Amino acid sequence: MKPTLPLLLALAATLPLNAAEKPLLAIPGKVIFESKLDSAPGAPWKMAKGKWELADGVWRGSEKPEDKHGAVARLSDKLPDFVIEYEFKFDGAKSTSLSINAVKDHMARIMITPQSVTVQRDDNDHEGPDKAIIFARLAADFAVGTWHKVRMEMVGDTMLGQVDDLVAWGSSDLFKQDRMVPGFTVGGQSVCFRNLSIHEASLNPDWEKVKATLPQPGEKVLPVAAKPAAKAPKKKAK
């Protein structure tokens, strides 16, 4: 006997929302942290910079000009191998990122502007010889007021970043260090966030097959858009 429509619907309701998604680098496991981000920002988060508020039932982060630094909100967690997922929408800002720190400095991030997605290993010493390594910079078109999904996976020495259907990955020994204080950044005003989850993760046994279908690190690096040249001052009439 074929299952009835109500039974099929009931079965579908028991499946995880991301069941249709094929695993990439990682297989999600135990929940580390989960929040719809539908209550006023506060503990266990630390709002290091900017203005963070509840607006229309979701978080909204905005840079404060007087900070001279992007808005930053971080959890205090130390992470094992992980999968992080959330949704964002631009509400006028020029950039946002999902950032992971090492013990003493930055480790990795997915940097998003309305026109691009960059997946990178961060500069880990600022003043020293270390430099950021861009695994990919991909063209995008994120309209103001539209929601988009972000996913970061990190297992061992490898990370994978995904925004909607844009995917990139890369490896670094830095990723084997302690991964600290995951968080959001916002450049400008403003970006909204919702539906955050962080899971423990294990390596997808089919990662090598998946990796073969993805661009190699450094293969797709969109040039940074050139800034418009400053206009020469007008000469005064003699």
pLDDT in tens, 204-216: 999 999 999 999 9
Three-class DSSP category at 112: strand
The pLDDT of residue 220 is above 90: yes
If you classify domain 29-204 with CATH, what class do you get? mainly beta
- Secondary structure (DSSP) of 41-71: S-TTEEEEESEEEEETTEEEEE--GGGTS-E
Domain boundaries, the chain: 29-204
Q: What is the pLDDT of residue 224?
A: 74
The pLDDT of residue 233 is above 80: no
Output the CA angle 81-86-88, nearest 5 degrees.
Answer: 140
pLDDT in tens, 58-108: 999 999 999 999 999 999 989 999 999 999 999 999 999 999 999 889 999
For range 140-152, the mean pLDDT: 98
For range 186-213, the mean pLDDT: 98
The residues near 148 (Cβ < 8 Å, ≥ 6 apart) are 87, 88, 89, 142, 163, 164
Q: What is the pLDDT of residue 225?
A: 64
Output the CA angle 205-136-215, nearest 5 degrees.
Answer: 50
